[in-house]
Amino acid sequence: MKLRSKAAVLLLLALSALLLALLTLRTGRAERPAPATQRLPAPASARPRGRGRGALTRAGHGAQRRGPQHPRPRAGRRGASSLEKLARRPGEPRQALAALPPRLWIHLAVVACGHRLEETLVMLKSAVLFSHRKMQFHIFTEESLQPEFDKQLRQWPDSYTKKFVHKIYPITFSVGNPQEWKKLFKPCAAQRLFLPVILKDVDSLLYVDTDVLFLRPVEDIWKLLRQFNSTQLAAMAPEHEIPKIGWYSRFAQHPFYGSAGVNSGVMLMNLTRIRSAQFKNSMIPTGLTWEDMLYPLYQKYKNSITWGDQDLLNIIFYFNPECLYVFPCQWNYRPDHCMYGSNCRGAELEGVSVLHGNRGVYHDDKQPTFKALYEAVRDFPFQDNLFQSMYYPLQLKFLETVHTLCGRIPQVFLKQIEKTMKRAYEKHVIIHVGPSQTH
């Protein structure tokens, strides 16, 4: 009997020691600093050019420190409350954003003239609401709009202004007649053609029209720069998914890229490569630089083009198809993708990533689904709750649009917003709580 008692005591002591060892190991794991999420790439100028990436700016995050430990949210109402509070500040911790060197910032450019102030501010607002990377905004606008842009952006809350810096530029054209360029198609739209010439210190750039909305973090489209091969220096989406009913394939009187042309409302550019390239053309047998090519190209085709600068870009990449990377339609989703029936397979599978409300659909009643998204971002109070003040009202508004073809597929428009909010929740709760509290 005594032997059995001793054996029981020894077993109990062994189990206690094992439990203590496990607790010590678990505590040690929780207290270790979080590893860097991604190693910072070398500067663009130091990278070899022979492997196809050139001076391509890579999207990367600096090392992050783990924030203070927080208790795991409980299920039920308390957990939902924590989720909603996190949605109010979907950005990175302040120290991570501040530590990111300028060479790794995302550069976002827009050209705004006429009555495009509000539309542009809503676009920029969508960029900061959902993104986690530090950005630099390059805003090209008329002199009369410059003070208002600066005033409005400086009035945003600190939790959002920490995500970006902005610079405002006048409208300038380095070659040809400035007034002629300014009136080409929409006011000032041709300015985008001169971005490689003006932004000489910028390696890579994302240009968007004023009527664009980001429905997921900007860094996600920025990562597409990594997909460029050794000859590609710009990226755009097709103008149409079905060539036989596309505008270019039916009506264009000039050369255009591929079978249906490309849309320039969302355009990624490796400016370093563009500045150093020699472009084939229909004017001389040898290559021309980007700046030297623009005005002669316009003079040759100005009586044939309908969509201004977009047509000129189509002509350029018709003669230089190896220079263009074509990304899928969900990165430039327009009314054409749903108003005649859904024809963007990528959006059906993954949801709309970048919404492009061309043809003024944000401001009329022709496409209420697009208008609902625009108004939801425009009217969202910065410090309010994303779930209650944006996502839930959107769901209700979409119920009023089911009589339209675009309104019959609300999941296409909401899928990426849902994912973005989920990612914001996981980033704050799962990453920053620590491994010992996530099981």
Question: Is the same domain home to 141 and 253?
Answer: yes
Q: How far is CA 326 from CA 172, 229, 322, 432, in A?
A: 29, 12, 11, 37
* Amino acid of residue 334: R
Tens digits of residue pLDDT in 186-213: 778 899 999 999 999 999 999 999 999 9
Residues 307, 372, single domain; the answer is no
Residues 142 and 286 in one domain: yes
Opening angle at CA 422, ends 421 and 425, nearest 5 = 90
User: What's the CATH code of the domain at 317?
Assistant: 3.90.550.10
Query: Residue 17 falls within a domain, yes or no?
Result: no
For residues 172 and 280, state if they share a domain: yes
Please check whether residues 298 and 383 belong to one and the same domain: no
Report the b/e string of 180-194 with b at 16+ CB within 10 A.
ebbebebbbbbbbbb
Residues 322 and 213 occupy one common structural domain: yes
**Amino acid, res. 254:** H
- The C-alpha atoms of residue 287 and residue 292 are separated, in whole angstroms, by 10
The CA-based diameter of the chain, rounded to the nearest angstrom, is: 108
Is 203 among the domain residues?
A: yes
Range of the domain at 108: 102-327
Kindly list the distances between the CA atom of residue 156 and the CA atoms of 46, 125, 382, in Å, as whole numbers in the listed order.
37, 9, 8
Residues 160 and 292 in one domain: yes
Is residue 24 one of the residues assigned to a domain? no
Give the residue among 221, 209, 229 at the shortest CA–CA distance from 268.
221
Angle between helices 146-154 and 117-130 in degrees, nearest 10: 30
Q: Total domain count for the chain?
A: 2
In a domain? residue 347 = yes
Tell me whether residue 411 is in a domain: yes
DSSP 367: -
C-alpha distances out from residue 215 to 114, 135, 252, 328, 417, Å: 25, 16, 32, 15, 6
Provide the residue-wise pLDDT of the chain in tens; the chain has 439 residues: 444 444 444 454 454 444 444 434 433 443 344 433 333 344 443 344 433 433 444 333 333 434 444 443 333 333 334 333 333 334 444 455 657 788 899 999 999 999 999 999 999 999 999 998 999 999 999 999 999 999 999 999 999 999 999 999 999 988 877 778 877 767 788 999 999 999 999 999 999 999 999 999 999 999 999 999 999 999 999 999 988 888 899 999 999 999 999 999 999 999 999 999 999 999 999 899 999 999 999 999 989 998 889 999 999 999 999 999 999 999 999 999 999 899 999 999 999 999 999 999 999 999 999 999 999 999 999 988 888 888 888 989 999 999 999 999 999 999 998 888 777 667 655 554 555 444 4
Cα 344 from Cα 331, distance rounded (Å)? 10
> Same structural domain for residues 313 and 196?
yes
With both helix axes pointing from N to C terminus, report the angle between 368-379 and 410-426 in degrees, rounded to the nearest 10: 30
Distance CA 50, CA 155 (A): 45
Residues 288 and 241 in one domain: yes
Dist CA 333 CA 324 (whole Å): 19
Q: Which of 143, 171, 137, 169 is closest to 156 using CA atoms?
A: 137
Tokens of 81: 């409350």
Q: Are residues 290 and 158 in the same domain?
A: yes
Q: Which two tokens stand for residue 378?
A: 């425009």
Q: What is the pTM of this model?
A: 0.76
Indicate if 364 and 259 belong to the same structural domain: no
Q: Is residue 179 part of a domain?
A: yes
What's phi and psi for 213, nearest 5 deg? -130, 135
Whether residue 183 lies inside any domain: the answer is: yes
**Do 319 and 348 belong to one domain?**
no
